Amino acid sequence: MRKDDKVKILSGKDKGKEGLILKVDRSANRVIVENVNQIIKAIKPDQNHPQGGFLTRENYLGASRVMLICPSCHKPTRIAQSILSDGKKVRVCKHCQEHIDK
């Protein structure tokens, strides 16, 4: 998975939702998806937020709970890797065999 990939949530309270990946943490195998798994965080007053209050933001999801949506066939799919004639690796959709990386 990479930043700005469109994914579908496979399990949990947000099952079936779709969104773009905002951040990837490869060491912990987790991702942040836009408008999914939102939490409310309490903020103490400081210079940026003089009144303090509550902030809503996205929290991490396990990477195994999301699946990439192919840009050409628009289906959730697994990813294969293919090597082009110039030696460059590209991601390929398992359903339609189209290149995901353009």
Task: Assign a CATH topology to domain 6-69.
Answer: SH3 type barrels. (2.30.30)
* Per-domain residue ranges of the chain: 6-69, 78-102
d(CA 80, CA 92): 5
Q: What is the pLDDT of residue 91?
A: 94
Q: Pick the residue with more confidence: 30 or 101?
A: 30
Q: Give me the pLDDT at residue 14, please.
A: 92
Question: For residue 35, what are the CA distances in angstroms to 50, 58, 70?
Answer: 26, 6, 20
Q: Which residue has the tokens 């066939």?
A: 73
CA dist list (Å): 74 to 33, 69, 88, 95: 18, 6, 24, 10
Residues 93-100, mean pLDDT to the nearest whole number:
92
The enclosing H or E element of 9 equals: strand 6-9
- Amino acid 76 reads P
Q: How confident is the model at residue 101 (pLDDT cuts 50, 70, 90)?
A: confident
Reported as a single tens digit per residue, the pLDDT across 32-85 is 999 999 999 999 999 988 999 999 999 999 999 999 999 999 999 999 999 999
